[in-house]
């Protein structure tokens, strides 16, 4: 399929990369209901790792089977599906290439918690290739005492991934003993986290929708001095997108804990209005019955489609 003007424009931001990386990026941009719009809705299912199986799947038990999520991503028209090694292996041998996959490379779990969290690397670039994945995914915890080790890990993995044509999707989640709980989603911290991800060479950056809280006084001062308003979510989204190379990196936003349909759509409208490139939405999708989940995902996609056409 010939690229749309918008896809071509987005790819031009990654001119340093080899055609393999750009072609795989294009696969996400050209898949599903939002194909060609430059917007992305991705289904991520790694909550079993993070919170345990029942907290993730008891509500909609179909989700215990990893094939359910793969099929949900395909049927709802998502641009991609992100999952850990085991879940990808459990589904992909049956489906083989129905949707681009992000192989999530590192994980944490809640059986051991630390004020300075870290993640274990549980997959390799060779795994991504043999499983036919189109990108790797990786979480960093800016603010953790272990964050620098994580930056070095992704540097190595990302370099290897690029050399074989795979782009990198970075989950940038601030956490650590010097950050308050509220600070983890503060607008200044979220903008900083997006910037760090961009500087690490990420092609797609995933952050949480930022709140109006400021964590760092030095940052707050700059916002005030320069008259940067972050009162509305759309302003804060724009603030974060600008922080990732002036909007020349794809920044998408996570949906967070499960909530009502109206709340989800309200948030997505703000993300779209602020120039966000899309959503990566897990629990709000797979914890609903399938028909409802597809309906919600389509509604979310329609918001982005309208924004792309505006």
Kindly list the catalytic residues: 206
Residue 263 CB, nearest approach to its own copies (Å): 20
Q: Which is nearer to its own copies, 147 or 254 (CB)?
A: 147
Residue 246: exposure state from Cβ atoms within 10 A (0-12, 13-18, ≥19): exposed
DSSP string, 113-137: --SS---EE---HHHHHHTT-SEEE
- Measured from the CB of residue 145, what is the shortest distance to its own copies in angstroms? 6
Q: Cα separation of 89 and 83, whole Å?
A: 10
Nearer to its own copies, 163 or 232 (CB): 163
User: Residue 164 or 294: which CB sits closer to its own copies?
Assistant: 164
Helix (H) or strand (E) holding 290, with range, is helix 290-309
Q: How far is the CB of 201 from its own copies (least distance, A)?
A: 5
Closer CB to its own copies, 39 or 175, in the complex: 175
The label of the residue with tokens 């940052």 reads: 219
d(CA 9, CA 135): 20
- Computed from CA positions of residues 14, 297, 43, 117, in that sequence, does the dihedral angle turn out positive or negative? positive
Min dist CB 181 to its own copies, Å, is 15
Tokens of 40: 């992305």
Using CA atoms, how far apart are residues 104 and 88, in angstroms rounded to an integer?
9
CB of 266 to its own copies, least distance (A): 25
Beta carbon nearer to its own copies, 122 or 261: 122
Burial of 148 (0-12, 13-18, 19+ CB in 10 A): exposed
């Amino acid at each position: 399929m010939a690229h749309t003007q918008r896809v071509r424009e987005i790819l031009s931001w990654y001119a340093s990369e080899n055609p393999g990386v750009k072609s795989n990026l294009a696969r996400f941009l050209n898949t599903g209901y939002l194909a060609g719009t430059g917007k992305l809705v991705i289904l991520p299912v790694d909550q079993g790792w993070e919170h345990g199986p029942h907290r993730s799947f008891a509500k909609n038990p179909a989700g215990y089977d990893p094939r359910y999520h793969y099929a949900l991503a395909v049927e709802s028209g998502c641009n991609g599906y992100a999952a850990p090694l085991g879940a990808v292996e459990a589904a992909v041998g049956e489906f083989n290439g129905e949707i681009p996959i992000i192989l999530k490379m590192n994980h944490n779990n809640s059986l051991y918690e630390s004020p300075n969290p870290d993640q274990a690397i549980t997959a390799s670039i060779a795994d991504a290739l043999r499983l036919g994945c189109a990108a790797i995914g990786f979480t960093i915890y800016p603010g953790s005492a272990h964050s620098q080790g994580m930056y070095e890990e992704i540097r190595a993995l990302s370099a290897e991934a690029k050399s074989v044509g795979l782009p990198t999707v970075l989950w940038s989640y601030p956490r650590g003993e010097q950050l308050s709980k509220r600070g983890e989603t503060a607008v200044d911290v979220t903008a900083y986290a997006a910037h760090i991800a961009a500087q690490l060479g990420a092609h797609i950056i995933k952050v949480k929708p930022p709140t109006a809280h400021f964590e760092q006084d030095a940052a707050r001062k700059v916002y005030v001095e320069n008259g940067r308003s972050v009162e509305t979510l759309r302003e804060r989204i724009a603030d974060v997108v600008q922080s990732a190379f002036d909007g020349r990196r794809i920044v998408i936003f996570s949906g967070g804990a499960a909530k009502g349909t109206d709340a989800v759509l309200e948030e997505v409208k703000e993300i779209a209005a602020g120039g966000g490139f899309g959503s990566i939405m897990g629990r709000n999708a797979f914890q609903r019955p399938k028909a409802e989940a597809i309906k919600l995902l389509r509604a979310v996609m329609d918001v982005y489609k309208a924004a792309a056409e505006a």
